[in-house]
Amino acid sequence: MNGFPYRGTWDKPATPPGRLGRIGEACGIAALVNLDGRPESGARIGKMIRTMVDRENGLGAGYAAYGLFPERADLYCLQMLFDDRGALERAREFLGKIFRLDADEEIPTHPVATLSGKAPICWRFFVAPPKEADGQEDDYVMTQVFRINAELAGAFVMSSGKDMAVFKGNGWSYEIFDFYGIGDYEAPLWLAHSRFPTNSPGWWGGAHPFNILGLSIIHNGEITSYGTNRRFVEMWGYRCMLLTDSEVIAYSLDLLLRQQRLPELVACAALAPPYHFLIDEMENGGARELLREIRVNYRPAMLNGPFSIAVATNYETPTLLGMTDRKKLRPLVAATSADGNTVFLSSEECAIAILGEDATEAWAPHAGKPVIAGVGRGLVRRGTEEYFQGLEIEFSNA
Amino acid sequence: MADIYHEIPPRFQVEIDREKCRLCERCTVNCTYDVHSFQGERIVARSENCVACQRCATMCPQGAISILPGKITFAPHYTYSDRIRRIIYEQASTGGVMLAGSGTDLPYRVIFDDLLLDAAQVTNPSIDPLRETVETVTYLGRKPDRMSVAEDDGKLIVSRGADYPNVELSTPIVVGHMSLGSISYNACLAILRAAKEVGTMVGTGEGGLHPDFYEYADVINSEVASGRFGIEPRYLKEIAAIEIKIGQGAKPGHGGHLPGEKVDAVISETRMIPKGTDALSPYPHHDIYSIEDLAQLIGALKEASRYRVPVGVKIAAVHNSAPIASGIARAGADFITLDGLRGGTGAAPRIIRDHAGIPVELAVAAVDRRLREEGIRHLVSIVAGGSIRYAADLVKVLALGADAAMVGQSALIAMGCRACQMCHLGNCSWGIATQRSDLTRRLDVDIAAQRLANVFHAWTEELREILGALGIDSVESLVGNRDRLRYVGPNPKVAEVLGVKHAGEPWSD
């Protein structure tokens, strides 16, 4: 693989192979969630992503599955890539020191003749933080993941959440599908991503989804506010080491959703807020006031430039969230299945159409408005509602 | 002792075209530096008094007057330049501290000119501000660590902690502190009117606020300086923001200085001092000898203003600005104003004006970085001034980390100032930096206000054009976005301090 994996240090951010810097890209995104929690194989998500052939150029693809390890749902699953056996053994020793190792196993892979170069060793560890981290398990794991990716030569953590895993690499979406045998896994929530990087040879760690703890993101776009957003999340303890704008969106959402426990609608409004003049014109006084406060307080969190994203979280239950920038400069289509049990998101309607009668009603979410659907939660938002529609807003002064 | 004054070759040569001159004597009326006089049959120009304010040449109906570089040359000498020799001659004659107005005219490299902007191409579309919304609204003030919103059974419950007042500006440009005293009543009024029209904020300077100006209270940023001139309850209660002045870019370490000759009835009423007395501010605040003293003054002003407006602190950009700014943020300030080396003044010792402080570009970058490293950038907004000349500097200073830019000299130039740098003499022939009633009435308030508002509108429009080209549709996404700047200057160390990559290097940091 082209220089896999990159290495970084704490004082000097790592750059992808060839020091090519940050990656701008166009991409395909596809996602689905079964609202009743019924697991399904990766077949349909694979079909969705593979049909959008114009959106990739063979330089990276990936998948994420949620609700994947119900029998080990209390453990963090570190889904990792290694240069060689030596790196794997060093990592095993290191992980033993910082975590309680519950189990580990090789991630099943299958040789794909068309994949160029040497494939990495793929291994997953089920770990629990030590007792000292009680009450701050998530923060502990996050810190250790940053550390591993920065300091452990030849090792890279693809994902670090509970009951989920990311599978990604440098290749076409069908190659990565076959390499990991995505069709063999069963999960109620899937993300899939294919990539058209514009200035990078692609490398395994740089493919999507990007993950931090239980949050994974697939992203199509290029964030023009990257420098502002990056400095914002770094102020709150995140380390932007992959130098992609997708990474910075993942950290922004982790900060807002997990650390600050903001409702999804509030976090989405922080990332893609309505224009001031639209806020001024709003009739709902509570919503107007809340949006104004969000705009004032979260100025550096606002994502500028074109994007469409699909995000998966498992804070309480596997949840899928999709949205675009507030001008909708990148596409996003949503749909439900005929029985209403599955919600789909994708860059193009063809990815839903190819599922045939599996997907019927499709719609275009409005610019900057989120689609939210979760296992056991149903289709909470279609992305066509007014801001905070149907919610009563109450202000209390401490 | 008469001979102790040496004649020095004039800096400028005033020439009158005798063919064109009709002896109307308008120049003799307009000149405030005693250059032109009518001597029998002709106008005689005393070039040695000329400051190149251009008033006579502009007002001459015949276009008969030319102002040229002085014709008597000094023998060339790089080390003992004309400038140095003039200073020594002057001091040999007077034995005094040289005074100067405006900002330094020394050729310190303008780092803004070594920075180039990015533009969106292919992978991120640029935005056309004539067809799409591009926002410039800016909020100055402290922001909370986080918002607290809980979702519960169809309800969003927003729990507010302390209330942090913010000033809303329609555009990230504020006018710096030019007091009534340093500039005329008419000039102050014109600036206030322009700011009101545009929707931004104006500093009062140290001189208090004239009773007439309370009409514009919602655009006023009241300065509390070491002299405490003109401070009264409504000066702290009725306005938009309060700013403690610790230092000024043109004279770091110095206090304000208004000579008694300028303290007429209007100034006396505003500053609340007797007519004809010097208004000399102490160099430090005599109740601030360390950071905890500053915290107490910030607290006192917040109490006095009933926590209704943000309280900021202005410092001159100096070597240690970053740690100082950190202390100011922790002392409770809501915004910090950084005034750079090239910042202006009504009057300052020339030696300080020309040699103390650091360029604002470097100070902003250093302060922004330091506050982020300490995780307290949200506690303060950063306002940066000291040679924000035009929209390009505005955009660049925002990208380097400022929330808003502060202007002074450019605002005066918009109103007619020719930047002759003689503000300290109080004889401004354009009616701006003077209190002489025969001169102040030369400034038409309505026209000056409209000219200044035009400049702010033009800059805001240019800011939108640049944001659109960068693929950014709201100005907050430019603040601190150094990734969109590239350095083309000669000194890589400057780029390092700015946190900006060299031109030719792709995105990354």
Q: Hey, are the CB atoms on A22 and B506 less than 8 Å from each other? A: yes
User: A299 CA to chain B: closest CA distance, Å?
Assistant: 6
Query: Is residue B483 less than 8 Å (CB to CB) from chain A?
Result: yes
DSSP code, position B270: H
ipTM greater than 0.85, yes or no? Answer: yes
Q: Hey, are the CB atoms on B150 and A234 less than 8 Å from each other? A: no
Nearest by CB to residue A222, choosing from B124, B476, B478, is: B124
Q: Which residues of B touch A294 (CB under 8 A)?
A: 147
In A, minimum Cα distance to B379 occurs at A297
Give the residue-averaged pLDDT of A151-179: 94
Identify the band that residue A239 occupies on the pLDDT scale cut at 50, 70 and 90.
confident
User: B214 CA to chain A: closest CA distance, Å?
Assistant: 27
Q: Which residues of A touch B133 (CB under 8 A)?
A: 275, 277
Give the residue-averaged pLDDT of A34-62: 92
Record the pTM: 0.93
Q: What average pLDDT does chain A have?
A: 89
Chains A and B: how many Cβ contacts under 8 Å? Answer: 157
Query: Is residue B471 less than 8 Å (CB to CB) from chain A?
Result: yes
Question: What are the two backbone dihedrals, phi and then psi, of residue B41, each rounded to the nearest 5 degrees?
Answer: -110, 0
Catalytic, A27? Answer yes
Q: Hey, are the CB atoms on A228 and B478 less than 8 Å from each other? A: yes
E strand or H helix that includes residue A57: none
Which among B146, B148, B403, B472 is the top mutation candidate for probing chain A, defined by the most A β-carbons within 10 Å of its own β-carbon? B146
Report whether pLDDT(A288) > 80: yes
B497 to each of A241, B79, B367, how far by Cα in Å? 21, 30, 11
What would the DSSP string read from start to end of B148-165?
EEEEETTEEEEEE-S---
- Cα angle A158, A117, A78 (rounded to 5 degrees) comes to 15
In B, minimum Cα distance to A294 occurs at B147
Q: Which long-range contacts (CB under 8 A, 24 or more apart) does A99-107 make?
A: A99/A125, A99/A127, A99/A128, A99/A129, A99/A130, A99/A144, A100/A127, A100/A128, A100/A129, A100/A130, A101/A125, A101/A126, A101/A127, A102/A72, A102/A75, A102/A126, A102/A127, A102/A128, A103/A72, A103/A75, A107/A79, A107/A167, A107/A180
Identify the band that residue A232 occupies on the pLDDT scale cut at 50, 70 and 90.
very high
What confidence score (pLDDT) does residue B2 get?
A: 61
Give the residue-averaged pLDDT of A90-105: 95
State both tokens at B273.
Answer: 């001092």
Per-residue pLDDT of chain B (509 residues; tens, 9 = 90+): 567 888 889 999 999 999 999 999 999 999 999 999 999 899 999 999 999 999 999 999 999 999 999 999 999 999 999 999 999 999 999 999 999 999 999 999 999 999 999 998 877 889 999 999 999 999 999 999 999 999 988 999 999 988 899 999 999 999 999 999 999 999 999 999 999 999 999 999 988 999 999 999 999 999 999 999 999 999 999 999 999 999 999 999 998 888 788 888 999 999 989 998 888 899 999 999 999 999 999 999 999 999 999 999 999 999 999 999 999 999 999 999 999 999 999 999 999 999 999 999 999 999 999 999 999 999 999 999 999 999 999 999 999 999 999 999 999 999 999 999 999 999 999 999 999 999 999 999 999 999 999 999 999 999 999 999 999 999 999 999 999 999 999 999 999 999 999 999 886 54
The closest of A359, A360, A366 to A387, measured between CA atoms, is A366
Interface of B with A in 356-415 (CB under 8 A): 372, 375, 377-378
Instruction: Yes or no: say if B258 and B246 are a contact pair by the CB < 8 Å rule.
Output: no
In A, minimum Cα distance to B375 occurs at A235
A395 to each of A15, A290, B157, how far by Cα in Å? 45, 9, 6
Interface of B with A in 124-163 (CB under 8 A): 124-125, 127, 132-133, 135, 137, 139, 143-144, 146-151, 154-161, 163
Instruction: Yes or no: say if A157 and A149 are a contact pair by the CB < 8 Å rule.
Output: yes
Query: Is residue B479 less than 8 Å (CB to CB) from chain A?
Result: yes
Nearest by CB to residue A297, choosing from B147, B163, B474, is: B147
HEC profile for B216-258? Answer: HHHHEEEEECCCCCCCCHHHHHCCCEEEEECCCCCCCCCCCEE
Q: Which residues of B touch A304 (CB under 8 A)?
A: 471-474, 477
A251 to each of A142, A146, A239, A248, B329, how far by Cα in Å? 11, 12, 9, 5, 26
Query: Is residue A6 less than 8 Å (CB to CB) from chain B?
Result: no
SS3 content of chain A, % helix, strand, coil (to 5): 30, 30, 40
Q: Give the C-alpha separation, A236 to A249, whole Å.
A: 14
What confidence score (pLDDT) does residue A13 get?
A: 35
Q: Look at residue A320 and give its three-state secondary structure.
A: strand
